[in-house]
């Protein structure tokens, strides 16, 4: 029994259930304001307190979980798909094609991901769709390098040579034989990538460049804490704890998968 994997699944399962059932579980609408309840500390009426506009923090965090997890999953899906395609082509064909793809990958890796994101967001509207696409398009390098390395090893194996001898097309060999056998490390990397994408989105939203209000995300909920930290600690604590636990959960899953494959 892999305890690390189980703990990670429990943590992510909890936040996923909260996200899916947010419309049914949240006690208030996420944008509902109540001037009489501004900056109210956690109580039986507002379990996690309220912000400076009287909005319920628990309700906003539940809906924010949907945004943060969706951005993480789709952004990593884009990055993994792009990385798998480019890495597979580079590893299988080698030579000039491999050199071009890998040198381009190295150039992109020279730029810090967060600054690439800032530059891209500066020229585009800060919508949820754009954030997902931008994170995906700036995070494909890791999966590409991983799957290229796996395919360089796999393409010399006997079962691949047999496929060549039987006249299988290159596309068939790559899609049906090489990629499925090379996905182990990529899956671990993708799990870690979801945590990184959520953290990137939270950072962008905290800076006011990510998901824009009134749509709640854990990052833009934290924006409120900049001006109310001394008088409303709960606005910082609870969203920050949710981000921390989610990232830990994905890291535990990645570590558990790594141990399971290694075993």
pTM: 0.88
Distances from the Cα of 81 to the Cαs of 40, 124, 182, 202, 226, in angstroms?
Answer: 45, 23, 13, 23, 37
pLDDT band of residue 79 (cuts 50, 70, 90) is very high
Q: What is the average per-residue pLDDT within 66-79?
A: 93
Query: What is the structure's pLDDT at 1?
Result: 62
Q: What is the average per-residue pLDDT within 62-74?
A: 92
Q: What is the average per-residue pLDDT within 53-73?
A: 92
Distances from the Cα of 26 to the Cαs of 60, 66, 98, 230, in angstroms?
Answer: 8, 12, 51, 27
The domain ranges of the chain are: 3-13+56-262
| 3-13+56-262 homologous superfamily | MetI-like (1.10.3720.10)
Whether 263 shows a pLDDT value over 60: the answer reads no
Chain segment 194-245, per-residue pLDDT in tens: 999 988 888 888 777 788 878 888 888 888 777 787 788 899 899 999 999 9
What six digits make up the tokens of 212? 């824009």
Higher per-residue pLDDT: 262 or 203:
203
């Amino acid at each position: 029994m892999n305890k690390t994997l189980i703990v990670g699944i429990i943590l992510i399962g909890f936040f996923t259930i909260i996200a899916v059932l947010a419309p049914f579980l949240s006690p208030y609408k996420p944008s509902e304001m109540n001037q009489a309840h501004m900056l109210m500390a956690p109580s039986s009426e507002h379990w996690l307190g309220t912000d400076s506009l009287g909005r319920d923090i628990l309700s906003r965090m539940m809906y924010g979980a949907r945004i943060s997890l969706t951005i993480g999953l789709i952004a990593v899906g884009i990055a993994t798909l792009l990385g798998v395609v480019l890495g597979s082509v580079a590893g299988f064909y080698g030579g000039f094609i491999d050199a071009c793809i890998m040198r381009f990958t190295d150039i992109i890796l020279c730029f810090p991901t967060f600054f690439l994101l800032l530059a891209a967001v500066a020229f585009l509207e800060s919508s949820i769709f754009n954030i997902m696409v931008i994170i995906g398009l700036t995070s494909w390098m890791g999966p590409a390098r991983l799957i290229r390395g796996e395919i360089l090893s796999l393409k010399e194996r006997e079962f691949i040579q047999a496929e060549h001898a039987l006249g299988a097309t290159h596309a068939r060999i790559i899609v049906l034989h090489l990629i499925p056998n090379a996905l182990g490390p990529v899956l671990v990397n993708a799990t870690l990538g979801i945590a990184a994408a959520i953290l990137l989105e939270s950072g962008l939203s905290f800076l006011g460049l990510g998901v824009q209000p009134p749509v709640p995300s854990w990052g833009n909920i934290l924006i409120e804490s900049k001006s109310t930290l001394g008088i409303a600690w709960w606005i910082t604590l609870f969203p920050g704890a949710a981000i921390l636990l989610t990232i830990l959960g994905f890291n535990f899953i990645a570590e558990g998968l790594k141990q399971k494959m290694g075993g």
